[in-house]
Amino acid sequence: MSTLATLLLQRLRRDRLQLVIWIFGIALLALFSVSAVEKTYGDPAGRASILQLAVANPSILMLRGTPEGGGLDQFVFFEIFTFIAVLAGLMNTFLAVRHSRAEEESGRAELLAATPAGRTLPSVATIIYGALVNVAIGTFVALAFIAGGLDPKGSFIAGCATAAVGLTFLAVGLFAAQLMRTSRGANGVAAAAVTGAYVIRGIGDALATPAADHLNMTPAWWSWVSPIGWGQQTLAFDANNLTPLLLNLALTAALLALVFVLQGQRDSGASLLSGRLGRVDARSTLSTSLALAWRLQWPTVVGWCVGGALGGLLTGTLANAVSGAATADPTVEKVMASLIPGGKGSLVQLFISAIFVMVGVLAAACATQVIIRMRQEEVSGTAEQVLATRVSRVRWLVGYFTVGTASIVLVLLSGAVASALSALAVGDTSARVGDSFAAATAQLPAALLYLSALALVFVALPAWTVGLGWTLLGLGTVFGLFGGLVGMPEWLRNLSPFTHSPVPIGTSTDWSGGIWMLCIAVVVALAATATMTRRELNTA
Amino acid sequence: MNTVIEAHGLEKHYGRVRALDGLELSVDAGEVHGFLGPNGAGKSTTIRVLLGLARADGGSATVFGQNPWTDAVELHKRIAYVPGDVSLWPNLSGGEAIDLLSRLRGGTNDKKAYTERKARLIEAFQLDPSKKGRSYSKGNRQKVALITAFASPADLYILDEPTSGLDPLMEGVFNQEIRRLASEGSTVLLSSHILSEVEQLCDRVTIIRAGKMVESGTLAELRHLTRTEVSFARNGLTDADIARIPSIHDVALDNGRARFTVDSDKITSLLPVLTELNVKGLRIAPPSLEELFLRHYGDELNPAEASLVPHASRKARRREAAQEASLR
């Protein structure tokens, strides 16, 4: 067997489970959305009226994309393609970094580079492997749409668009791996690029000009500088135009060329942005395990806070547009209400809540990373050195608990402050400031529940921490936030903590869900702490 | 209390693997105690139990008369630890890691003296403390852990293979520091798989294998273990010439070279004879621990391994067994 084939098989074997989950997850999302659209917006008249609303509402355009016609197929593409593209993008950046920078950082790449595989062949293998994975994603997305009864040709185009966007972000991930010294840094840069591509096309779509029939829109130029935007511009199921994907391929080729140039120049393990020297002595504040946990985690917390603030800005600036759209047509209110389980109250309050549920997910994700960091400390052996000092196991755990709680509060707070400030900036001094803080507070219990539940997993089933942490968060997000949109059954949606977050609507708010979750979080946290006294260090 | 570490019948299982299988260990106050065994013998597991990072499944262990699992924090005030495989925080500099761990140990209360000790050790070990943890080599990471351990006073130093990444020059610095600690009356448990390192530093030695103690005593008591291998070119010497050399064991004569072993304390009495024979290409080497294990504990190896034990040494082993019996 040739060296290249060996490398390819090694990658496939390493990722086999992850790949299946990602590919089928994305394909299932496509299939689900077809059935949900059929169920909810089955008749053409209903679709037309909802599209006319969307055309008038920049926030929907920003989140989803631009409508391209009133047919069922076109509606599905409008509703789900940008989400599919983001997922495919993230899958590819993680894949790229996992097989490049992470390998170098761990030293495994050096082992391989010393064999006849050399320094370049592993990268070639990763690219071929990534390309094959994207072909598979494209195929399964197309098959899912066809299985849902959509036009085969359009399904094929949609599959191609997904694969092309994925391929571009594979190259972005590999490029980030050349820039950054650590896999953590490379993953951060690459995921930020995916988010950036989504936001930039969101701005372009929000600024789109509607056609005369109010069922089509021409996006602003912003949408043409985003790889996800190019995928949208294939107008699958409508114009079925593959040419915009040439832009994806061109960017991919350019980035890959850069990757090989950079890799040819540098030493194994080095990076374009090299590490700086550190302090000779520690700051006097770095003297407890809590201070250490904060020191290790604060850059990540800042990142999530920026995300929270962006969410907050969205509510502040778009709430007016939403309220305007609602005055124009009452069905907007119905759509918004479907986003929030059991939601009543003014449209603006619902809109703020809808956005803050997402900020809540960010806060929970930030907390998840804090617990995962604790696990990484344990596995890498640095925790062993800390626990060999006069720091007890419980105090060590409580330190991370504290950092986790603080990071949740900070992410929600930055969302609330940004939301309030942007509301004030557009001259809205009314209750919007209070609504923002209430909506942020409402998300606290669900995020705390995630923190303490994962801490219990860490104590009881340490080896599961990373896998279960992200899985629980992912499932909770899908069930709680998108369950309503794609028509999941009630009991499934009720499994997600986010479903039970209170929806602040003034004085009549039902806070009971939040209070219950808070109580459960406290009990779980106490259980984790109690179990920690009897737990040994587990590095396996 | 004169005994610092006391372990009886210590057991630890990881799934079906018996990492510790009735281990005995006793370390007296003020001694430098060598803890020897091949890789995977259970040295690190023992140390983890002694530090309260792992809980024993059977038997008992005390450190300073206290239970390491329940009184871990209390005990850690008196213990400095260097792990076998030192990992550092990738984004903290070496200097930061030293300060942080020293503070967590409570060793920086005498601020000025601590700063001086730290500066002296950084100088002695030639460490650049401003580099980030991720850019240190294995040897440099080990230096960070050693400096941390030596920068704050402790009653007991537990060092897990502390020199495995150091160059000979730094080993010299390390040996000096250990002698300093010993002269100050501290107790040191030094795990290693290198016999010569332990010979240089330790008062007493415990040898373990497969989670059990196989030997323990002073170096003098274990002298029979440290038999030196001598070899030289035959260069026309007859078998009879070689047979004249006194008190040699395990003689093996092949075409090119003559090989045999000698009790290490008898090696000087051998030299006049070798001079007289005018031997060429003389090589005198201390035995490796692996050879020792093969020679002395070959019975416990599995049959495939046991067949590798040279025939000549079987006899020696029987002699050894008799000698051991007389020691007890």
Q: What is the CATH number of the domain that holds B231?
A: 3.30.70.980
Last residue of one domain, picked from the residues A214, A239, A273: A273
Residue of B nearest to A540 (CA): B14
As given in the structure block, the two tokens for residue B20 are: 């510790």
Q: Do B81 and A391 touch (CB under 8 A)?
A: no
Considering the domain architecture, whether residues B212 and B251 belong to the same structural domain is answered as no
A116 vs A187: which has the higher pLDDT: A187
pLDDT value, residue B55: 92
* Residues A45, A49, A50: CA angle, nearest 5 degrees: 115
Residue A280 in domain? no
Chain A CB contacts of B160 below 8 Å: none
Are B170 and B72 in a shared domain? yes
Give the orientation angle of helix A512-532 with respect to helix A444-460, to 10 degrees.
Answer: 20
Any domain includes A425: yes
The pLDDT mean for chain B works out to 84
Share of chain A above pLDDT 90, in %: 54
Reported as a pLDDT band with limits 50, 70 and 90, residue A274 is low
A471 domain residue, yes or no: yes
Residues B147/B99, Cβ–Cβ less than 8 Å = no
Q: Are residues A262 and A294 in the same domain?
A: no
pLDDT tens-digit series, residues A137-167: 999 999 999 999 999 999 999 999 999 999 9
Per-residue model confidence (pLDDT) at position A429: 63
Instruction: Look at residues B202, B217, B232 and tell me which one is the last residue of a structural domain.
Output: B217
pLDDT score for B245: 81
Closest in A286, A288, A392 to B72, CB measured: A392
DSSP class of residue A430 equals: S
Q: Which residues pair with B217 in a beta bridge?
A: B205
A279 found inside a domain: no
Q: Are A232 and A253 members of one domain?
A: yes
**Edge-to-edge, what's the strand order for the sheet holding B187-192?**
B79-82, B156-160, B187-192, B32-36, B204-209, B212-218
Does any domain span residue A237? yes
From B217, B238, B259, give the residue that closes a domain: B217
Q: Check whether residue B195 and residue B232 sit in a common domain.
A: no
What's residue A337's pLDDT? 63
Looking at the fold, whether B174 and B244 belong to one and the same domain comes out as no
A351 pLDDT tier (thresholds 50, 70, 90): confident
Contact A411, A469 (CB under 8 A): no
Angle at B293 between CA B289 and CA B295, to 5 degrees: 115
Q: What is the pLDDT of residues B272-286, one digit of tens each?
A: 888 888 888 888 887
Domains in chain A: how many in total?
2
Q: What is the pLDDT of residues B170-215, one digit of tens each?
A: 999 999 999 999 999 999 999 988 777 788 899 999 989 889 998 8
Which token pair is B170?
A: 């730094």
Q: Which of A226, A248, A273 is the last residue of a domain?
A: A273
CB contact under 8 A, B132 and A275: yes
pLDDT above 60 for B64: yes
- Based on the number of CB atoms within 10 Å of its own CB, is A504 exposed (0-12), middle (13-18) or buried (19 or more)? buried
Give chain A positions within 8 Å (CB) of B96.
Answer: 278-279, 281-282, 286
Q: Do A389 and B105 touch (CB under 8 A)?
A: yes
Same domain, A391 and A465: yes
In a domain, A278, yes or no: no
Are B33 and B182 contained in the same domain? yes
| Chain B neighbors of A535, CB-CB under 8 A | none
Mean pLDDT of B132-149: 92
Q: Could you tell me the strand order of the sheet in which B227-233 lies? A: B249-253, B257-263, B227-233, B280-285
Residues A151 and A24 in one domain: yes
Same domain, A159 and A199: yes
Return d(Cα B214, Cα B23) in angstroms, integer: 9
> Of the residues B177, B198, B217, which one is the last residue of a structural domain?
B217
Which of B83, B86, B96 is nearest residue A279 as measured by Cβ atoms? B96
Note whether B118 and B255 are same-domain residues. no
The beta-carbon neighbor of B92 closest among A277, A278, A287 is A278
Q: Which of A30-44, A374-388, A450-464, B83-97 has the lowest mean pLDDT?
A: A30-44
Q: In the structure, what pLDDT confidence band is assigned to residue B262 with cuts at 50, 70 and 90?
A: confident
CB-based contact A161:A249 (threshold 8 Å): no
Can you list the alpha helix ranges (DSSP code H) found in A488-534?
Answer: 490-494, 512-532
Q: How far does A345 lie from chain B, in Å, by closest CA?
A: 48
Q: Which of A127, A133, A161, A159 is nearest to A146 (CA)?
A: A159
Among A31-45, A48-62, A77-91, the range of highest mean pLDDT: A77-91
Dihedral sign for Cα B154, B158, B160, B163, please: positive
pLDDT for the residue numbered A339: 58
Residue B305 confidence (pLDDT): 39
User: Do A380 and A508 belong to one domain?
Assistant: yes
Q: Do both B166 and B37 map to the same domain?
A: yes
Q: Which residue of A has its CA nearest to B101?
A: A386
Q: What is the pLDDT of residue B13?
A: 92
pLDDT for res B281: 87
- Number of separate domains in chain B: 2
Residue B201 sits in the same domain as residue B323: no
Average pLDDT over residues A337-366: 77
DSSP 8-state secondary structure symbol assigned to residue A277? P
Say if residue B90 is in the same domain as residue B170. Answer: yes
Give the integer Cα–Cα distance in Å for A490 and A488: 7
List residues of B whose CB lies inside 8 A of any A CB: 14, 48, 51, 53-55, 72-73, 76-77, 79, 81, 83, 85-101, 103-106, 129-132, 134-135, 145
Is A303 part of any domain? yes
Domain identity same for B208 and B261: no
Maximum CA extent, chain A: 73
Same domain, B252 and B189: no
Preferred mutation among B99, B127, B138, B140 to probe A, highest tally of A CBs within 10 A: B99
- The CATH number linked to B37 is 3.40.50.300
A475-516 pLDDT per residue, tens: 998 888 777 766 778 888 899 999 899 888 777 788 999 999
Same structural domain for residues A302 and A447?
Answer: yes
Task: State the pLDDT confidence band at B224, using cuts at 50, 70 and 90.
Answer: low
Assess whether B162 and B306 both reside in one domain: no
Query: Quick one: A471 and A393 in the same domain?
Result: yes
Residue B240 exposed, middle or buried by CB count within 10 Å (0-12, 13-18, 19+): exposed
> What's the pLDDT tens digit per position in A281-291?
888 899 999 99
Instruction: Using CA coordinates, name the residue in chain B closest to A297.
Output: B91
Name the closest residue on chain B to residue A184, using Cα atoms: B90
Residue A38 has pLDDT above 80, yes or no: yes
Question: Is A161 found in the same domain as A253?
Answer: yes
Domain final residue pick, A216, A239, A273: A273
Complex prediction ipTM? 0.78
Compute the CA torsion angle B303, B307, B313, B314 (nearest 10 deg): 50
Q: Which domain holds residue A265?
A: 1-273
* B76, B90, B96 ranked by CB distance to A282: nearest: B96
* A168 plus A19 within the same structural domain: yes
Domain that residue B256 falls in? 223-327
Among A124-133, A415-424, B309-318, name the most confident range. A124-133
- Work out the burial of residue A243: count CB atoms within 10 Å of its CB; fewer than 13 is exposed, 13-18 middle, 19 or more buried: exposed
| Domain contains A452 | yes
Strand, helix or coil at B188? strand
- In chain B, what is the straight-line distance between the N-terminal and C-terminal CA atoms, in Å? 26
Residues A265 and A381 in one domain: no
